[in-house]
């Protein structure tokens, strides 16, 4: 069989992680925006992600699962190096899940406590994920500088999630809350611009491998399209929020689409920087891959299940399209 199985799994894992970041990203973002809204608005915000957040989080399990299955050697190295941020993320995800469910099921009983848990958990999980991303890009190098870098990435990712969450709310809500969300979206855009700019400048400084990939002529020409595409998308997204605000002709989902596109570009940039390493500068995907017999067995399952998965994910989003209202999903 001439199929490059480790490469196939690297692509699948990348797709699962991208799906996770975009999908759970918007509901984490909504969670982080909770304190900025009034009580009634919070009910609507929570309702807007009700049918989705469970399924969104399972993409994380799929991403980690693929890492575990396809690259067992890397799984131990990565999760060992990221042990504490992983624990922080997991605790954050648990707290927000519990906060969310109890808020919905207890119907207003102790609502402030559940709100707080939901916000805190969302924030902790987002920060931890950004920190993990920063550590991964730099190959888990020790040193204060690298930790600082990871903290910057953590802040940047929070901004990115806020952008996704705010633009999601623009699409899912109406009236005063939608107008608030438009303002949040622009704050998110500014935050993201700052984050991406810092990371783009700092990553080549922090990593020799990344530097040579992005700045060696002529192979830099193709990837250099990415920063320009990102900038263009950023401007377009900013403009659509203005157009919706002024009641001009524009789809209410355009800002969310723009935010997702920005994520795809940023993700492509990171993937390009890392590839073919699964542990930066240490393990390539081929070195870390599991035995072909295992990869083939899993691939068969993935190919059978994936179409269904995508199919009913689309179904779920179709069924629950439209504007969210408080109490709708109780």
Interface residues toward other proteins, by CB under 8 A: 50-52, 54-55, 57-58, 60-62, 64-66, 68-70, 72-73, 75-76, 78-80, 83-84, 86-88, 90-91, 93-95, 97-98, 100-102, 105-106, 109, 290-291, 293-294, 297-298, 301-302, 305, 309, 312-313, 315-316, 319-320, 325, 327-330
**Three-state SS for 272?**
helix
Q: Which is nearer to other proteins, 68 or 152 (CB)?
A: 68
- The structure tokens 């080549």 sit at 204
How many of the other CB atoms lie within 10 Å of CB of 102? 17
DSSP structural state of residue 37: S
CB of 247: closest distance to other proteins in angstroms? Answer: 26
Reference 192, options 226, 162, 227; nearest CA is 162
CB of 220: closest distance to other proteins in angstroms? Answer: 35
Numbers of helices and strands, H then E, in the chain: 13, 2
CB of 145: closest distance to other proteins in angstroms? Answer: 22
CB of 293: closest distance to other proteins in angstroms? Answer: 5
Cis peptide bond prior to 276, omega within 30° of 0: yes
b/e string for 12-22 if b means 16 or more Cβ within 10 A? bbbbbbbbbbb
What is the spatial distance between Cα 305 and Cα 162, in angstroms, rounded to a whole number?
31
First-last CA distance in the chain: 51
What is the spatial distance between Cα 178 and Cα 186, in angstroms, rounded to a whole number?
13
97 conformational bin, left if phi > 0, alpha if psi -120 to 50, beta if neither: alpha
Reference 45, options 158, 180, 238, 239; nearest CA is 180
CB of 57: closest distance to other proteins in angstroms? Answer: 6
CB of 39: closest distance to other proteins in angstroms? Answer: 17
The torsion of the CA quartet 244, 249, 255, 257, rounded to 10 degrees, works out to 160
Question: CB neighbours of 320 closer than 8 A, spacing ≥ 6?
Answer: 51, 52
CB of 292: closest distance to other proteins in angstroms? Answer: 9
What is the spatial distance between Cα 150 and Cα 129, in angstroms, rounded to a whole number?
10
DSSP structural state of residue 34: G
CB of 117: closest distance to other proteins in angstroms? Answer: 8
CB of 5: closest distance to other proteins in angstroms? Answer: 13
Q: Which is nearer to other proteins, 219 or 321 (CB)?
A: 321
């Amino acid at each position: 069989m001439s199929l490059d199985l480790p490469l196939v799994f690297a692509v699948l894992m990348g797709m699962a992680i991208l799906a996770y970041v975009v999908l759970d990203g918007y509901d984490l973002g909504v969670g982080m925006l909770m304190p900025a809204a009034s009580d009634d608005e919070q009910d609507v915000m929570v309702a807007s992600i009700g049918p989705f957040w469970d399924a969104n989080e399972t993409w994380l399990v799929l991403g980690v699962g693929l890492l575990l299955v396809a690259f067992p050697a890397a799984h131990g190295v990565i999760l060992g190096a990221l042990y504490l941020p992983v624990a922080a993320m997991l605790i954050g995800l648990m707290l927000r899940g519990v906060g969310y469910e109890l808020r919905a099921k207890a119907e207003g009983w102790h609502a402030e406590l559940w709100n707080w848990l939901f916000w805190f958990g969302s924030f902790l999980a987002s920060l931890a994920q950004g920190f993990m991303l920063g550590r991964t890009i730099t190959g888990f190098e020790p040193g204060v500088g690298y930790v600082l870098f990871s903290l910057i990435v953590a802040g940047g990712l929070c901004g990115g999630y806020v952008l996704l969450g705010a633009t999601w709310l623009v699409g899912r809500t109406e009236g005063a809350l939608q107008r608030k969300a438009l303002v949040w979206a622009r704050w998110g855009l500014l935050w993201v611009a700052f984050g991406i700019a810092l990371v783009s400048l700092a990553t080549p400084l922090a990593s020799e491998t990344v530097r040579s990939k992005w700045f060696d002529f002529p192979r830099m020409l193709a990837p250099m399209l990415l920063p320009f595409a990102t900038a263009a998308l950023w401007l377009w997204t900013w403009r659509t929020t203005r157009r919706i605000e002024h009641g001009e002709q524009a789809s209410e989902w355009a800002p969310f689409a723009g935010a997702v596109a920005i994520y795809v570009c940023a993700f492509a940039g990171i993937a390009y920087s890392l590839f073919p390493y699964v542990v930066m500068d240490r393990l390539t995907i081929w070195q870390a891959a599991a035995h072909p017999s295992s990869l083939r067995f899993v691939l068969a399952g993935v190919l059978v299940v994936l179409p269904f998965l995508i199919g009913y994910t689309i179904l779920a989003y179709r069924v629950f399209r439209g504007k969210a209202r408080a109490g709708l999903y109780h």
